[in-house]
Amino acid sequence: MIQQLLAEAGVGGVSHALVAVDARGIEAAADWDTLQSGENYVGYDRTENFASPGGAASDTRRVYAVPSRLRLNEWALSGDWTVGKQATVLNKANGRIVYRFHARTFISSWDRQREERPCGFACSSMDSRRALLADLTLTTKETVGLPKQRLYQLIRHPKPIADRQFEIEFLDSGVAAFAFTFG
């Protein structure tokens, strides 16, 4: 169909043969056969597997810590956060979110509570290699502007798919985290 449209538009040399699709890198499809992590929300109304010691304090500012080990599909906070009904908001700079998952792709939804300046953040993966950031080409501790709430594809690991632990540290306060999803 696309080849026909290109030909009709006057593009020359368009083959009418079938084209093999070999997506690689960030275009690689989700690995549905090995996916072991599902969507999870960060607000207390719908979250699962929150593992910071003492649990979440709903609608209350609190300092959290990450346990020494997370099991598959557990997540935790470190730093000064307020866990709200729909989102979790960082109150003080240098707060972290850590998530252990089993998927090729790690996607998260964030927003900024204050738009006056960009938000700095650093990402890493459990095996000490820099996380593969698909939407955001970053090195550790770069500063970027977060637009209004949207999804960020943060990791797209090549095969083999394995349990991984992702960590993101927000270097500025005011970030609201809404959800994690995997593919």
Query: Using CA atoms, how far apart are residues 53 and 101, in angstroms rounded to an integer?
Result: 19
Inside any domain, residue 158: yes
> 108-146, pLDDT tens digit by residue?
777 776 655 556 666 665 543 444 443 333 334 444 555
Ordered DSSP codes for 97-166: EEEEEESSEEEEEEEES--SS-EEEEEEETTSSPP--SSS---TTEEE---SSEEEEEEEPPSSP-EEEE
Residue 142's contacts (CB-CB under 8 Å, 6 or more residues apart) are: 120, 121, 122
As for how many domains the chain has, the answer is 1
Could you tell me if 155 and 131 are in contact, meaning their C-beta atoms sit under 8 angstroms apart? yes
Inside any domain, residue 15: no
pLDDT(183) > 60: yes
Instruction: Tell me the residue range of the domain where 112 lies.
Output: 25-182
pLDDT(167) > 80: yes
Question: 46, 173, 31, 18: which is closest to 56 by C-alpha?
Answer: 46
Q: In the Cβ-directed half-sphere of 117, how many Cα atoms lie within 13 Å?
A: 8
Q: Provide the β-strand partners of residue 40.
A: 180
Inside any domain, residue 92: yes
Q: What is the CATH number of the domain that holds 118?
A: 2.60.120.260
Inside any domain, residue 19: no
Inside any domain, residue 41: yes
> 31-67, pLDDT tens digit by residue?
667 778 888 889 999 999 999 999 999 999 999 999 9
The pLDDT assigned to 88 comes to 94
> 63-95, pLDDT tens digit by residue?
999 999 999 999 999 999 999 999 999 999 899
Inside any domain, residue 106: yes
Inside any domain, residue 79: yes
Question: 137, 73, 60, 133: which is closest to 100 by C-alpha?
Answer: 73
pLDDT(27) > 80: no
Inside any domain, residue 20: no
